[in-house]
Amino acid sequence: MGCYHSKKPKSPGYEEPTVLAAETPFTVSEVEALYELFKKLSSSIINDGLIHREEFQLALFRNRNMKNLFADRIFDLFDLKRNGVIEFGEFVRSLGIFHPNASIKDKITFAFRLYDLRQTGFIEQEELKEMVLALLHESELILSDDVIETIVEKTFNEADMKGDGKIDEEEWREFVMKYPSLIKNMTLPYLKDITMAFPSFVATTEVEDSDM
Amino acid sequence: MAGKAAPARNVLFGKYEMGRLLGKGTFAKVYHGRNLMTHDSVAIKVILKDRVKKEGLLEQVRREISVMGLVRHPHIVELKEVMATKSKVYFVMEYVNGGELFVKLSQQGKLTEDGGRKYFQQLLSAVDFCHSRGVSHRDLKPENLLLDENGNLKVSDFGLSALPEQLRIDGLLHTRCGTPAYVAPEVLRKRGYEGAKSDLWSCGVILFVLLAGSLPFKADNVMKLYRKIFKAEFEFPPWFSSEAKEMVSKLLVVDPEKRASMDEIMQSSWFQKGFTKPLSFNDKDELNSEISDLTNPKLLSSSPPFYNAFEFISSMSSGFDLTSLFESKKKQASIFTSKCSASAIIAKLQSLAQKLNFKATNQREFKVRLQAKEEGRKGKLAVTVEVYEVAPELAVVEFSKSAGDTLEYNKFCEKDVRPALKDIVWSWQGENECL
C-alpha cells in the first residue's frame, strides 16, 4: 500500500501507541487521542513536538510567563528524562497516573514526590512552609508569620507520626488514608472521555486491524 | 474465522468482547458487546472507513463523536468511548435493549394520550437539553427513538446533528438532511434554517404519529408530499383531544418564526401533566459522598472542620489543577478563601439562599445544601457548600453541584453566587494571578 509511505513526521520523543497502551491504563485509541492533545500543546509556542515549560504554563494558566511552584513541580515530574522538555511518551506515562483506573498507590507516590521539593525522599517542615507561602502568594493572601507557622506546624506534627522531623513515604500514605481528599486532584475524570474530546485520531490512526 | 457465524471469542482492544449482531445500516453494523472488566453490556457500532471516506463522510463521523460527547442526558444514548483501526471506527455506546419506539408503535397501532405524552415529554427534555448545548439533532424520527428496559425513551443517532461551529455567519444552517416525512418545510426548501426550530417541527410530527398511529403528511409521491408539508396540510383523527390538537398545531407551523418555542410547549398544561424532569447522574455520587462523610471522624465535631496545609495546597493551587490542559475555556472557580468566621459564612449563605428563593438545609454544622425550588433542565439544581478552617482568620469555602444541570449550575455560580458573596470573599481559586 503505497499511500502509507507519506506519513507525517512524528514528534522527536514519539513512541508507538501500542507500547504506551500496554504500560498505562489507556487503550491504543486513547493514546492516539492524547497525541492529538499533545500535538496542540507542543506546538503552541515552539513547533518542535516537545512541550516546553512555557507551553505548559500557557496551557495551565493561559499565560506563558506565569511562574508557579506547583506547576513547576508537575512539569519536573512529567519530564522523566530531566532534559527540560516533556516528550510524548513522558506525557502519556505521567498522565496515566491521573487516570481514574490507575492505582491509588501510584497516585499517593506521585503526590509525595511532588511535595518532596528537594527530592530527598522526605517532606521536610521547611518544604511545607515554602509551599504554603507559595500558595498564599499565588492567591494574594496575606497572613501573619505566626498564623503561617501555626498552620504548618499543626499539619506537620499530625503527619509526622514518628516525630523525627520529616514525613517519609509511609507516613504520607497513612496521612492520605486519613484525608483522602488530598489526592482528589490526582484523578482527572476527563481522561475517560479523551477519545470523544479529540476524535480526529479516527482518521489518522495507524493501528492495524490485526493489532487489536 | 472461516465463515463461522460466531467466532469463539472476538475481543476488541483487550477491553470489550464482541457479541451478536444487533443491526446494520449502510455504513455501520451494531454488535452487542461486554466490557471485560466491569461486565457491563454495551452496543458497539462498527463503521467501515473505506465506505464512509468514499462518500466524504469521515468528517461527519468526527462531528458525531464531538456532539455525542457534549450531550449526556438520561434520554440520550450515551457514547462511552471511541476506538479506531486503519479500516474501522468503533463507537462504544450504552446498550439500550427495549427496541425501537417505531416497532412498538407498529405493533400497537397508536398510543393512548397519556402514553404518547410520556414519550413526548422525554423526547422534548432530551431535545431541549441538546439545544441548551448548542446542538440540534436534525434527524428526529421514530427510528432514532429507542426504548430501554424500563420503557423509557433514548434518542440515538446524532450522525446528522450540527454544532454551533457548523452554523454559518448568519447563524443559519445550510446543509439539508433528514427523512422527508419528518422534515420541516424550511429545510426542504433548502433555505438557511435554524436547527433548533426544525427539530421542533419534527417533534410535532412525532407527537402526531404517537397519538394517531400514522403520519400527518402522506402522499403517493415525493412531490405531493412536499406540497403537503409546505402547506402544513394534515388532518387529525377523531380521537385527538382538543389540547393534543392544539399542541400539534402549534408545532406544525410552516413559518419557523411563528412556530411555538420550546419553552412555550414545555410550559403548557398539556405537556406539564405528570411531567417529571429526569434527574442528573450526579445524585448517585452524592449518595456515595454522604456515606463517606459518616465514616470520616473529623467531620463529626461541632467546630468547623480543620483544613490541613496539604488540603489547602492541593485544593487551592491552580498549578495542581491539570483539568485546564483539556479545556480551552477557563473553568469556573468553585472554591474561595475568606477572612470571616465559619459561622458568619454559614449565616451569609443562608441569607443568600433566602434571597434567591433556594431552600437551605444544614447537612452538618458547616455543610449547607442549597436547593432550587423550581425545576431545571435535569431536575432541581442543588449545590453543596462546605466551610473549612485553615487558621482562625482563614476559612476555605468549597462549592460543588450535587444535582441538576451543569450549565445551570455554572450560570448560578457566576450570576447569583459570586456577586452576592463579594464582600466575604478574600480570593477565588486560581484567579489572583496578576495576569
pLDDT digits (tens, 9 = 90+) for A7-39: 567 778 889 999 999 999 999 999 999 999 999
Is residue B11 within a helix (H) or strand (E), and if so which, with residue range? strand B10-12
pLDDT in tens, B4-57: 444 457 899 989 999 999 888 777 889 999 999 999 999 999 998 888 887 777
Distance, CA of B267 to chain centre: 19
Q: Which pLDDT score is estimated for A139?
A: 85
Best residue of B36, B65, B83, B388 to probe chain A, by most A CBs closer than 10 Å: B83
Average pLDDT, chain B: 84
Measure in Å the smallest separation between the Cα of B423 and chain A Cα atoms.
Answer: 15
Phi-psi region of B261 (alpha: psi -120 to 50; beta: other; left: phi over 0): beta
Whether the CB of A108 is below 8 Å from some CB of chain B: the reply is no
Look at residue B165 and tell me whether its pLDDT is greater than 50.
no
Q: What is the mean pLDDT of residues B240-249?
A: 96
Whether the CB of A41 is below 8 Å from some CB of chain B: the reply is yes
User: How far is it, in rounded angstroms, from Cα B245 to Cα A80?
Assistant: 68
Position with higher pLDDT, B304 vs A126: A126
Nearest CA in chain A to B430: A139
Between positions 77 and 96 of A, the ones with CB within 8 A of B are: none
User: How far is it, in rounded angstroms, from Cα B421 to Cα B355?
Assistant: 12
Q: Which pLDDT score is estimated for B6?
A: 46
Q: Do A141 and B82 touch (CB under 8 A)?
A: no
* ipTM passes above 0.85: yes
Q: What's the whole-model pTM score?
A: 0.83
Q: What is the mean pLDDT of residues B244-268?
A: 95
Look at residue B191 and tell me whether its pLDDT is greater than 80.
no
pLDDT in tens, B366-393: 999 999 988 888 888 999 999 999 988 8
Confidence tier at B293 by pLDDT (50, 70, 90): very low
Chain A residues touching B14 at Cβ < 8 A: 27, 212
Measure in Å the smallest separation between the Cα of B138 and chain A Cα atoms.
Answer: 20
Q: Which pLDDT score is estimated for B430?
A: 73
Chain A residues touching B394 at Cβ < 8 A: 141, 143, 147, 151
Confidence tier at B330 by pLDDT (50, 70, 90): low
Look at residue B196 and tell me whether its pLDDT is greater than 60.
yes
User: How far is it, in rounded angstroms, from Cα B428 to Cα B333?
Assistant: 6
Q: Which pLDDT score is estimated for B192?
A: 64
Annotated binding site of B: 54
Q: What is the mean pLDDT of residues B73-93?
A: 94
Look at residue B331 and tell me whether its pLDDT is greater than 80.
no
Q: Which pLDDT score is estimated for B329?
A: 65
pLDDT in tens, A59-82: 988 888 888 999 999 999 999 999
User: How far is it, in rounded angstroms, from Cα B19 to Cα B6?
Assistant: 8
Q: Do B319 and A73 touch (CB under 8 A)?
A: yes
Nearest CA in chain B to A25: B15
Nearest CA in chain A to B49: A203
Q: Do A202 and B84 touch (CB under 8 A)?
A: yes
Chain B residues touching A188 at Cβ < 8 A: 322-323, 326
Low-confidence stretches of chain A (pLDDT beneath 50): 1-6
Whether the CB of A74 is below 8 Å from some CB of chain B: the reply is yes
Nearest CA in chain A to B315: A185
Annotated binding site of B for ATP: 54
Look at residue B177 and tell me whether its pLDDT is greater than 60.
no
The verdict on whether B139 is a catalytic residue reads yes
Q: Which pLDDT score is estimated for A100?
A: 94
Q: Which pLDDT score is estimated for B297?
A: 46
Contacts of residue B263, Cβ cutoff 8 Å, sequence gap at least 6: none
Of the residues B50, B128, B139, B293, which is catalytic? Answer: B139
User: How far is it, in rounded angstroms, from Cα B219 to Cα B161?
Assistant: 27
Confidence tier at B161 by pLDDT (50, 70, 90): low
Confidence tier at B295 by pLDDT (50, 70, 90): very low
Whether the CB of A63 is below 8 Å from some CB of chain B: the reply is yes
Confidence tier at B108 by pLDDT (50, 70, 90): confident
Measure in Å the smallest separation between the Cα of A115 and chain B Cα atoms.
Answer: 9
Phi-psi region of B190 (alpha: psi -120 to 50; beta: other; left: phi over 0): left
